[in-house]
Amino acid sequence: MNAANPSSVVATAEQLIDGWELVVGLEVHVELATRTKLFSASANRFGDEPNTHIDPVTLGLPGALPVLNRHAVELAMRLGLALNCRVQPCTFHRKNYFYPDLPKAYQVSQYDQPLNVDGFLMLPGDVRIGIERAHLEEDTGKSTHFGGAEGRIAGSEYSLIDFNRAGVPLVEIVSRPDIRTSEQAKQYVSELRAILLAVGASDAKMEEGSMRCDVNVSVHKPGTAFGTRCEIKNVNSIRAVGRAIDYEARRQIDVIISGGAIKQQTLHWDDAAGRTNVLRTKEDADDYRYFLEPDLVPLAPDTAWVERVRAALPPLPAARRAALATLTGQARESEAIAVVVERGQDSYVSEVAKVGGDAARALVYVQQAFADEPATPRVPAGDIAALTLMEKNAKITSTQAKTLLADLVANGGGDVIAMAKAKGFESMDTGALESLVDAAIAADPDAWAKFKAGEQKAIGALVGAVMKSSKGKADGKAVTALLQAKANT
Amino acid sequence: MPEPISRNTVAKVARLARLDLTEAEVDRMTDQLAGMLEHFRDVDALDLSNVQPLNQPIPLTNVLRDDVEQPSLDRDEVLGNAPAAQDGRFRVPPIIGFEE
């Protein structure tokens, strides 16, 4: 560890890349789910006709004055508190630069006194990633580049600008450089996204740009000072976060090994090509000439307001996953748990358990069949509970349960016992099943010989034959078990 | 006494502000800005150890509006004031290139 380094997290030996320690910090921008913009009353709506949500403030017309959106502040506080930040009195600054999608020639942002500071976010395995700040700022317009290589900045002949997005409220969440692997970076973005959705601060759609990641990457030898960092922009999916970091770490290590030095640069991630390109070389940080925005007064949420927001926070994803894992007996980090919590259907699973259903099966059903259902699915919890019990008590096979589940979803519920009867689903007793298995073996001695000789694939033909002769009533798992038992004797 | 502001700083600030100054103008601005900065030496001479920085001269905080939508400006009227427009959008010259 080096005293001068801005993070005291030390990589484990397994986390090193050929003996190099990776340091990653993330700056994530999220658009807040408000009705209107941060400083003006035009709609904050994605996907509408260009330049149909514009006003004097958005366009930077002379004399236009910004007024802060109360709901944007509230959502930013909600997010800050969910990230364990301290909410503090804060001010707004102008960040000055010239770009056509920024009509005022400055972005209103927060500088040395941001709204939320000193938080943290927990990753799986009790890894704690510090949050330096989560501040409010306004989004820019959207540029589309034409001519040259279509849609790209390089070699373009002109650009068209849509200001619908200009002035949309953003929170920029800046992590501390505590991330040591690309996997952790992906987990961080994924967890942040889950929190944003849980508290309703943003729809966090990376593909639509309402959640955007800039990734700071550097490498150094363990025990030495951190290396010079490069910032990668345009990283638009969780997968791309991992790929961009892996690529950039390798690039930097190769540059240093071959005797070169890393220049502090802004890079652009080209996901199709799987590489970074140099966007611009940063000269110094002072180029933005931040100064206090004279058109806005300070924001100072009082304790009562902060505590009201805190008290209204919903249970957060980590706690909800833990609760669902306990209820269903599944691993806290399993995919089913993550997916169901993200959809907000975890309370539905516990509702199914509460009315007597089998929680583990309910989790599987909900994960598999409720992807297009709202947080509170239309199927009554009692119907799903009944179905879990029928399968658990072997009244029906898992295949039959799947069929009935699909029907329940399609019809928005139903009497599963009657439905099973109508479909002729009834369990086969073991004796009947065994005679079907014997018949299948007799009919296909070739497959049976291969299976007995250890060729596992050969079991498929036999199981298939039993399913067919039983008209789908046999339980595939039971058939497989029977065949295994017979082969072992 | 140190130089209040250097010619280089003035040239840099001008560049950042996209001001195309002649050499003579840079000289004149350097003199004028030096004069203004001279005034702050008077402030520096005071004992301000007990004075908090003033973020805003207006004694107000939390000026907020409700999140209620108002109609947009008319797009055609707005674009009519732009030097160039196309497909409902502002048209601007090429912006930035990659380093090769």
Q: SS3 letters for chain B?
A: CCCCCCHHHHHHHHHHCCCCCCHHHHHHHHHHHHHHHHHHHHHHCCCCCCCCCCCCCCCCCCCEECCCCCCCCCHHHHHHCCCCEECCEEEECCCCCCCC
User: Do B69 and A52 count as a contact with CB atoms less than 8 A apart?
Assistant: no
Q: Which residue has the higher pLDDT, B85 or A147?
A: B85
Query: Residue A134, SS3?
Result: strand
Report, as an integer, the average pLDDT of A273-277.
Answer: 92
Q: Does residue A16 register a pLDDT over 80? A: yes
What pLDDT score does A253 carry?
97
A116/A76 Cα distance (integer angstroms): 8
Q: In terms of DSSP bridges, do strands A142-146 and A93-96 run parallel, antiparallel, or are they unpaired?
A: unpaired
CA distance A239 to chain B (A): 24
Residues in chain B: 100
A172 phi, psi to nearest 5 deg: -100, 120
Q: In terms of DSSP bridges, do strands B85-86 and A86-87 run parallel, antiparallel, or are they unpaired?
A: unpaired
Residue with tokens 């970074």: A276
A85/A71 Cα distance (integer angstroms): 19
User: A78 contacts in B (CB within 8 Å)?
Assistant: none
Q: What ranges in A372-475 are assigned the alpha helix state H?
A: 381-392, 398-411, 416-422, 430-443, 445-452, 459-469
What pLDDT score does A280 carry?
65
Q: What is the DSSP letter of A17?
A: B
Residue with tokens 């400083």: A39
What pLDDT score does A488 carry?
79
What pLDDT score does A2 carry?
65
What pLDDT score does A358 carry?
95
Q: Does residue A254 register a pLDDT over 90? A: yes
Q: Does residue A248 register a pLDDT over 80? A: yes
User: Do B94 and A67 count as a contact with CB atoms less than 8 A apart?
Assistant: no
User: Do B62 and A51 count as a contact with CB atoms less than 8 A apart?
Assistant: no
Q: Which residue has the higher pLDDT, A127 or A482?
A: A127
Report, as an integer, the average pLDDT of B76-86.
Answer: 96
Binding-face residues of A in 317-336 toward B, CB within 8 A: none
When mean pLDDT is compared across A41-50, A61-70, A150-159, A367-376, the lowest value belongs to A150-159
Report, as an integer, the average pLDDT of A274-280.
Answer: 85
List the one residue out of A256, A253, A305, A352 whose CA is nearest residue A17.
Answer: A253
The first and second tokens of residue A379, run together, are 């199927």
What pLDDT score does A18 carry?
93
User: B99 contacts in A (CB within 8 Å)?
Assistant: 278-281
The residues spanned by each domain of chain A are 13-309, 317-422, 430-488
A239/A243 Cα distance (integer angstroms): 6
Of B56, B68, B94, the CB nearest to A157: B94
- In this structure, which long-range contacts are made by residues A348-352, counting pairs with CB atoms below 8 Å and at least 24 apart in sequence? A348/A375, A348/A376, A348/A377, A348/A381, A349/A324, A350/A323, A350/A324, A351/A381, A352/A381, A352/A384, A352/A385, A352/A388
Of B91, B97, B98, the CB nearest to A158: B91
Best mutation target, A144, A159, A233, A299, to test chain B (most B CBs within 10 A) = A159
Neighbour order of strands in the sheet with A127-138 = A86-87, A116-123, A127-138, A169-175, A21-31, A211-220, A230-235, A265-270, A275-281
Report, as an integer, the average pLDDT of A142-167.
Answer: 82
Interchain CB contacts (distance < 8 Å): A and B = 137
Q: How many CB atoms lie within 10 A of CB A378?
A: 12
When mean pLDDT is compared across A1-15, A17-31, B6-20, the lowest value belongs to A1-15
Report, as an integer, the average pLDDT of A223-251.
Answer: 95
Q: Does residue B99 register a pLDDT over 50? A: no
Angle at which helix A476-488 crosses helix A459-469, to 10 degrees, equals 130
Task: Establish if A160 touches chain B: CB-CB under 8 angstroms.
Answer: yes
What pLDDT score does A427 carry?
61
CA distance B65 to chain A (A): 5
User: Do B69 and A43 count as a contact with CB atoms less than 8 A apart?
Assistant: yes
List the one residue out of B61, B78, B67 whose CA is nearest residue A168.
Answer: B67
Provide CATH code, domain A430-488. 1.10.10
What pLDDT score does A472 carry?
75
CA distance B60 to chain A (A): 6
Q: Which residue has the higher pLDDT, A69 or A477?
A: A69
User: Do B96 and A279 count as a contact with CB atoms less than 8 A apart?
Assistant: yes
Best mutation target, A57, A98, A153, A160, to test chain B (most B CBs within 10 A) = A160
What pLDDT score does B98 carry?
46
Q: Which chain A residue's Cα is nearest to B56?
A: A297
Q: How many CB atoms lie within 10 A of CB B38?
A: 12
Binding-face residues of A in 96-125 toward B, CB within 8 A: 96, 98-100
What pLDDT score does A151 carry?
57
Percent of chain A with pLDDT over 70: 95
Q: Does residue A122 register a pLDDT over 60? A: yes
Binding-face residues of A in 248-277 toward B, CB within 8 A: 268, 277
What pLDDT score does A99 carry?
87
Residue with tokens 């030390």: A10
CA distance A33 to chain B (A): 11
Confidence bin at A436 (pLDDT 50/70/90): confident
Of B13, B64, B79, the CB nearest to A70: B64
Give helix then strand counts, H and E, for chain A. 16, 15
What pLDDT score does A152 carry?
60
User: Do B55 and A59 count as a contact with CB atoms less than 8 A apart?
Assistant: no
Report, as an integer, the average pLDDT of A352-372.
Answer: 94
Task: Establish if A52 touches chain B: CB-CB under 8 angstroms.
Answer: yes
What's the Cα-to-Cα distance from A489 to each of A78, A437, A459, A484, B78, rounded to whole Å?
63, 15, 16, 9, 85
Task: Establish if A224 touches chain B: CB-CB under 8 angstroms.
Answer: no
What pLDDT score does A328 carry?
96
The first and second tokens of residue A214, run together, are 């800039």
Residue with tokens 């025990």: A223
What pLDDT score does A157 carry?
86
What pLDDT score does B96 carry?
60
User: Do B87 and A160 count as a contact with CB atoms less than 8 A apart?
Assistant: yes
When mean pLDDT is compared across A288-302, A321-335, B83-97, the lowest value belongs to B83-97
Q: What is the DSSP letter of A81?
A: H
Rg over alpha carbons for chain B, rounded to the nearest Å, is 23
- Express each pLDDT in B24-80 by its tens digit: 999 999 999 999 988 888 888 899 999 988 878 888 999 999 999 999 999 999 999
Could you tell me if A228 and A256 are in contact, meaning their C-beta atoms sit under 8 angstroms apart?
Answer: no
Report, as an integer, the average pLDDT of A71-90.
Answer: 98
Q: Which chain B residue's Cα is nearest to A297?
A: B61
Q: Does residue A438 register a pLDDT over 90? A: no
